[in-house]
């Protein structure tokens, strides 16, 4: 029987603890050494969108990125879970145009932009959201780019048996030293592998140990540099991963995934920090990653404090409690 994960985050209201979020944490070095672990890090998890920076390696390794002269913004977009802001949508449309595709070629489906102001703009102009507004549309553009460059079928590029998806599974297996046996379907329709949290952290750590990657070292560094240069693209102008990446001043790239997953990729330490919240709460993952990164001294303590001890406010903006990282 699997043991219960420890409580990582408590939510208070007044003097009382109102909610508790359990989870697991793994900090793993690129050589496979576990520097720190809490909870069941062997438990299988779906990395969800936190896996995007790893998968972007194939976009560059395939030759598609250079063939289509992808910009740093577009490389960051391939790693993004964006808000559907105007800058995100414009960048996706520009990329699709250069590839010669309409947005209907994207298999990610449609959802509304995350911010109220972006939704309001669509309503004001009598427009409806399209696939370009989907937070994963940049990753899907990357798949279209590889398919076109390698003369692969465009249709069903999101299916497990498509050559791109097979290559991506091979890539993750090689980085993680783990044989993937189960593959789920992510919210954007793409396959998402089931992998131990510790192995996911190892895979993320490997892409920033540039010397060990040999011929892929320039590729991995190019991905990291693009993401830390354009954090508003990889997340959104007010997202936690954008804020933390900025505060790290180039020392780390933070990427969230659905259902309480978060990863911090740290080149100077040749390591990665991965978090999975058991109940899938994004708020808890954000607080936990901030608390843990504080211990690694990547971000100044006075700047990280409001993220690891986040105020809980009511409808009048009165602070009535806190979300606290317990690690």
Q: What's the pTM value of the predicted model, to 2 decimals?
A: 0.95
CA distance 237 to 225: 18
- Nearest C-alpha neighbor of 147 from the set 83, 84, 59, 217: 59
Per the listing, tokens 């790290």 go with 248
Per-residue pLDDT at 1: 53
Three state DSSP letters for 244-296: HHHHCCCCCEEEEECCCEEEEEEHHHCEEEEEEECCCCHHHHHHHHHHHHHHC
Per-residue pLDDT at 32: 96
Q: Note whether 286 and 42 are within 8 A (CB).
A: no
- Region of residue 312 (phi > 0: left; psi between -120 and 50: alpha; otherwise: beta): beta
Per-residue pLDDT at 164: 98
What Å distances lie between residue 14 and 20, 53, 311, 314, 320, CA to CA?
A: 15, 40, 11, 12, 6
DSSP characters over 191-245 = EEE-EEHHHHHHHHHHTT-GGGGGGGHHHHHHHHHHHHH-HHHHS-TT-HHHHHH
The pairing of beta strand 191-193 with beta strand 183-185? antiparallel
Q: Note whether 27 and 36 are within 8 A (CB).
A: yes
Question: Within 10 Å of residue 136's Cβ, how many Cβ atoms?
Answer: 24
Per-residue pLDDT at 277: 98
What Å distances lie between residue 177 and 37, 68, 214, 246, CA to CA?
A: 18, 31, 17, 31
- Nearest C-alpha neighbor of 56 from the set 131, 110, 136: 136
Q: Which fold has domain 7-325?
A: Beta-lactamase (3.40.710)
Beta strands, E only, 56-186 = 183-185
CA distance 44 to 135: 25
Domain ranges of the chain: 7-325
DSSP 322: E
Per-residue pLDDT at 210: 72
Per-residue pLDDT at 327: 86
Tell me the two tokens of residue 174. 């090689």
Average pLDDT of adjacent 10-residue blocks, the chain of 327 residues: 86 97 97 97 98 97 97 98 96 97 97 93 95 98 98 97 98 97 97 98 92 76 96 93 96 98 96 98 98 93 95 97 95
């Amino acid at each position: 029987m699997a043991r219960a994960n420890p409580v990582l985050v408590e939510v208070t209201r007044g003097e009382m603890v109102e909610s508790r979020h359990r989870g697991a944490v793994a900090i793993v070095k690129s050589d496979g050494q576990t520097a720190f672990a809490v909870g069941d890090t062997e438990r299988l998890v779906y990395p969800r969108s936190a896996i995007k920076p790893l998968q972007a390696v194939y976009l560059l390794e395939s030759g598609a990125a250079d063939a289509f002269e992808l910009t740093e913004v577009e490389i960051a977009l391939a790693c993004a879970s964006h808000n559907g802001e105007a800058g995100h949508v414009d960048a996706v449309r520009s990329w699709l145009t250069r590839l010669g595709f309409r947005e209907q070629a994207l298999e990610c489906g449609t959802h509304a932009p995350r911010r109220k102001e972006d939704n309001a703009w669509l309503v004001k102009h009598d427009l409806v959201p399209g696939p370009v507004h989907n937070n994963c549309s940049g990753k899907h553009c990357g798949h279209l780019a590889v398919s076109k460059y390698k003369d692969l079928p465009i249709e069903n590029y999101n299916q497990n048996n498509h050559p791109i998806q097979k290559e991506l599974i091979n890539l993750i297996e090689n980085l993680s030293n783990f044989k993937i046996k189960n593959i789920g379907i992510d919210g954007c329709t793409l396959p998402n592998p089931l992998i131990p949290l510790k192995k996911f952290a190892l895979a993320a750590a490997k892409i920033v140990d540039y010397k060990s990657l040999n011929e892929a070292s320039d590729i991995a560094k190019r991905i990291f540099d693009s993401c830390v240069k354009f954090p508003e693209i990889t997340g959104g102008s007010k997202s936690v991963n954008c804020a933390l990446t900025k505060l790290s001043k180039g020392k780390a790239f933070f990427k969230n995934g659905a259902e309480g997953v978060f990863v911090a990729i740290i080149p100077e330490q040749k390591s990665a920090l991965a978090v999975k919240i058991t109940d899938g709460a994004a708020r808890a993952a954000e607080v936990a990653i901030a608390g843990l990164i504080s211990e690694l001294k990547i971000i100044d303590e006075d700047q990280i404090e409001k993220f690891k001890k986040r105020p809980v406010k009511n409808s009048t903006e009165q602070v009535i409690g806190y979300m606290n990282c317990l690690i």
